[in-house]
Structure 1
């Protein structure tokens, strides 16, 4: 009995630490792509993203209050939050193998990823249908609302990210280096392309009813090919190279504005 109790505590502790790390990684990535306001991404000198951790704690308390402490009602949320991303990751691996792998490895890879996709979809649907009366219906409504809210945030001014914004969020504020930072920069540019396509679709939709509204934003910078973006020098990402290649702004009349600096007591 005690062995099972100790094992359960260790497993739950490991799961809590995993969630503690993942919520930080999810936060700065979502800020970079434009789904969360930039205020959230703050990394203290010790390397912890304190604001998303605090927000996650508050959300957990609110969920527990909503289900009145009955944790079984929150199980469908966990199932959706775990198996939906796993299904998407398996699908991404399936597409990668289909495009880049040949021979027997391709067949084995496609088979394994197809099995993973099917398993993820089965568990995802099972969590909703099997626990329909225990919170599955609420979880389905919640995931639909979250998807709609994410799109509204993305097409709002909050979701706009220029290459300079992305570079500042990833490299300066989040202090992410190496290939992980490069990958998120590429993903952020792809999301901005998707955002622009949504804005164009909305503009064309209203044009059908005679409402012609000009787009507020210029077309975003193209992300390009993923492999080319990742095959760059370790210390200089493809986004840094893009920013360096951009033409500099023309000098202003009278020169650049003066910046505040330390006061020279001899001039007083």
Structure 2
């Protein structure tokens, strides 16, 4: 949608006055997404009122994709792109991928695209779009306890031929996946309970607590994931989970207790830390 310079300046000014640090960039995205001037006005009102930009737009950018994100669903963070890149480097062609605590399904969709898609897709614009060429080489499954997240993930994963299930961790997954999973993405909540209140308002006020709160030390959900990972991973399969620097020793211990060889990878540029567990092949 085209706007006059004066109208654009008005949008930027309103966003800046509301405390939006990247007001110019946000104004551009809102204008590109809005279908009519009235639509734009309503979107700006919602953003000025404090609604996260991704919810206003209806999508978030992740690994070069526009991933559909509905209000209340966990918004994929840019630093988590490092986890997906590490997974892509470790995965084999035709991998079986499971995305636990999937939220919008962004990780599974992005990894499938990296491993098999000829072109990125835009689920937010065309959620019913046909799978990209070659994506059927990758098998993607995802699960989350939040019904809204699962509905969102189904839209995003449809573009890569994936499936999403509602339930707690492994519980809703098809039994036929046991022992077949090559890449287990577990972007579990890892914020310690007492620190949830310290998160930015856009997270603590708009995202479900279950998607943020990782228990007393932030690793309760990761421990549950690692305790059963051996039952689901294929020989040589890997589990990847994001964590914080200070949680690394305990996270690696959880992986080792689950019978996985453990290592850590970090990206200084994005302040991302990922722990990786591998189920070593017998013999």
Choose between structure 1 and 2 for higher RCO, CA contacts under 8 A separated by at least 6 residues.
Answer: 1
Kindly indicate which of the two structures has a greater share of residues assigned to strand: 2
TM-score (norm 2): 0.26
Kindly indicate which of the two structures has a greater share of residues assigned to helix: 1
Larger Rg: 1
